[in-house]
Homo-oligomer: A and B are copies of this chain.
């Protein structure tokens, strides 16, 4: 038979099926498609799905959700972490079409339907051979009855209708159409979507000035971090640090004796990517640290920076893996006129690349063997796109619970493509978005269908490389408001240690004119801090992280709606859980210097109340409770509390 059936507009689907769709394990994947055929015949549509590693598909009937738009819908379960694949099949159900035609005739009281009944008999006979003994008997009985000259139309119809399910099962799918390509879905574990990250340097967790902490000593910080309510502990690289051209304090070209060097200049005589810096301890100490963190409910995120110091073992073992100068020497990293003589970039296009790529794969598996399940990847946009697609697939096919965070601060197309290629999460522009207009526009972009199916943002308030001037100028209130924004606008967010102390000593950026960076950057020296210094916001952080845990409305990205409030310095938005049992209304003063006030408009449907009905707005930060309705006065003093995080409640807590 010729193709009568069209299958179109399948969702979810990224770039026509070129890239997998991202979802979370434990949920059901909802699939919709436009399916129709010419003429009036009845069609059947099924969703065919499988685990990516299974050969056979399972089938779920799709239901017609909107007849006027030929829109069909079904969902399939994703019980396990890992990759799934689905497609859609549709065919003409000749028996159902005939039955529908017969029904109309009987309802219209047509007397002579003999010819139509004989057509039905022919359809029954057609499937005889495919039926078991019992079914065959049913078919034969029905055929005899329909063929008899004196069968009353109504009773003929009832006889025929009784066979619908049987016939649906037995009929061949003569004109079946199966959509190609099948669409892949990555079901990640929930941590891929939501989590609070804390970034630190192991060596800076000690208490003796000038002396770096070991992994064992750094374990003492873990309770403090746990108490602030974080989920993920991200460690700057713990590998041996090179000595040749080691950078000194504040990124100076010459290191003084005792300068520890940048953890991102990886490799020394003590080893490379699969070794631990001796001053931090041994691999056993690392294992012990991972276990201590795990016991405190903290998961380790491990830094993957694929570049070597001149002292990295590979330089001798695999010179072919680096770029060479005409004189045969190895090229260090440069971005003229800047030189990074302490770093050799890897040549991913080397003729020996099979060995290089597989060695990198081995190294990740090595750390997975030591309890690492999250990799934060440094500058992925300077390595080949195809390399990442290959590596992430290789790793996740064996360890589907492993997550990758892309640290690609670059142009939007590259960031989006890295996410599509497989990165579980991505760094974002949040750090540079401060005004109401900037935040509204950016979050609107991030929550568009294509973005939310592939790109999971992780909002960092700061990093060792990024100290926003907003924090320097705004001080403590600014640190609190940026924390609230990061922690409530994105289900994943992070901070770099020192944020809780509102650290903001700055110097002009060595690379970006007009920009600033941390003075005494921790990348080049050991820091010793008083983690309980006055003015710290640790309790505030703990409060916000507790609110995040208790409120599922904050565990998803796209369930976001900005609310009207006529004041450019105030940002207000609503968040809700899928079942709407948990609804939050958040208002933030974006100005760290002055109090601001305004009237926020909360549409009744957003609060889940009847138009005009009042509700209780329970501030989860201060525990105050306000009677609210559609229009509510808000005043936020940055020196008191810069934000409301209000939960919609019906009865006083």
Chain A residues near B (Cβ < 8 Å): 1-6, 8-9, 15-16, 34, 36-40, 68-70, 101, 104-105, 107-108, 110, 115, 118-119, 121-122, 325-327, 334-337, 348-349, 353, 381-387, 411-414, 417
Q: What's the nearest-Cβ distance from chain B to residue A344, in Å?
A: 15
Q: Which residue of B lies closest to A120 (CB)?
A: B326
Additional 18 contacts, C-beta under 8 A, given A68-B412, A101-B336, A104-B336: A3-B386, A4-B384, A5-B385, A6-B385, A6-B417, A8-B417, A16-B16, A36-B411, A38-B381, A38-B382, A38-B383, A39-B382, A68-B411, A104-B337, A105-B336, A105-B337, A115-B326, A118-B325
Chain B contacts for A413, CB-based, 8 A: 6, 8-9, 34, 36, 69-70
**Docked pose: A353 CA to B37 CA in angstroms:** 19
Q: What's the nearest-Cβ distance from chain B to residue A469, in Å?
A: 21
**Docked pose: A302 CA to B110 CA in angstroms:** 38
**Docked pose: A647 CA to B325 CA in angstroms:** 68
Q: What's the nearest-Cβ distance from chain B to residue A556, in Å?
A: 26
**Docked pose: A104 CA to B338 CA in angstroms:** 10
Chain B contacts for A349, CB-based, 8 A: 1-2
Q: What's the nearest-Cβ distance from chain B to residue A491, in Å?
A: 26
B101 touches A38 (CB 8 A): no
A336 touches B110 (CB 8 A): yes
Q: Which residue of B lies closest to A104 (CB)?
A: B336
Interface centre among A8, A38, A348 (most CB of B within 10 A): A38
**Docked pose: A121 CA to B325 CA in angstroms:** 12
Q: Which residue of B lies closest to A390 (CB)?
A: B2
Across the A-B interface, the 3 shortest Cβ-Cβ residue pairs: A108-B337, A104-B336, A16-B16
Chain B contacts for A335, CB-based, 8 A: 40
**Docked pose: A414 CA to B335 CA in angstroms:** 55
- Contacting residue for A15 out of B2, B3, B16, CB 8 A: B16
Chain B contacts for A417, CB-based, 8 A: 6, 8, 36
A384 touches B2 (CB 8 A): yes
Q: What's the nearest-Cβ distance from chain B to residue A636, in Å?
A: 34
**Docked pose: A337 CA to B103 CA in angstroms:** 10
Q: Which residue of B lies closest to A336 (CB)?
A: B104
A385 touches B38 (CB 8 A): yes
**Docked pose: A417 CA to B40 CA in angstroms:** 17
**Docked pose: A1 CA to B384 CA in angstroms:** 10
Chain B contacts for A105, CB-based, 8 A: 336-337
- Contacting residue for A326 out of B4, B70, B107, B119, CB 8 A: B119
11 A-B residue pairs with Cβ-Cβ distance under 8 Å, sorted by A, are: A3-B385, A3-B386, A4-B385, A4-B386, A16-B16, A36-B417, A37-B385, A38-B382, A115-B325, A119-B326, A121-B326
**Docked pose: A4 CA to B382 CA in angstroms:** 10
Chain B contacts for A108, CB-based, 8 A: 336-337
Chain B contacts for A110, CB-based, 8 A: 336-337
B414 touches A353 (CB 8 A): no
Quick one: given A2-B384, A3-B384, A335-B40, are A412 and B15 in contact (CB under 8 Å)? no
- Contacting residue for A384 out of B38, B326, B382, B387, CB 8 A: B38
Chain B contacts for A118, CB-based, 8 A: 325-327
B384 touches A327 (CB 8 A): no
A8 touches B15 (CB 8 A): yes
Chain B contacts for A387, CB-based, 8 A: 2
Chain B contacts for A37, CB-based, 8 A: 385
Q: What's the nearest-Cβ distance from chain B to residue A160, in Å?
A: 15
**Docked pose: A163 CA to B266 CA in angstroms:** 39
B122 touches A411 (CB 8 A): no
Chain B contacts for A348, CB-based, 8 A: 2
B326 touches A386 (CB 8 A): no
**Docked pose: A327 CA to B121 CA in angstroms:** 13
**Docked pose: A1 CA to B334 CA in angstroms:** 22
**Docked pose: A606 CA to B621 CA in angstroms:** 50
**Docked pose: A386 CA to B5 CA in angstroms:** 9
Chain B contacts for A119, CB-based, 8 A: 325-326
**Docked pose: A382 CA to B40 CA in angstroms:** 8
Q: Which residue of B lies closest to A66 (CB)?
A: B411
A414 touches B1 (CB 8 A): no
A411 touches B69 (CB 8 A): yes
B36 touches A414 (CB 8 A): yes
Q: Which residue of B lies closest to A357 (CB)?
A: B2
Chain B contacts for A121, CB-based, 8 A: 326
Q: Which residue of B lies closest to A331 (CB)?
A: B115
Chain B contacts for A325, CB-based, 8 A: 115, 118-119
Q: Which residue of B lies closest to A118 (CB)?
A: B326
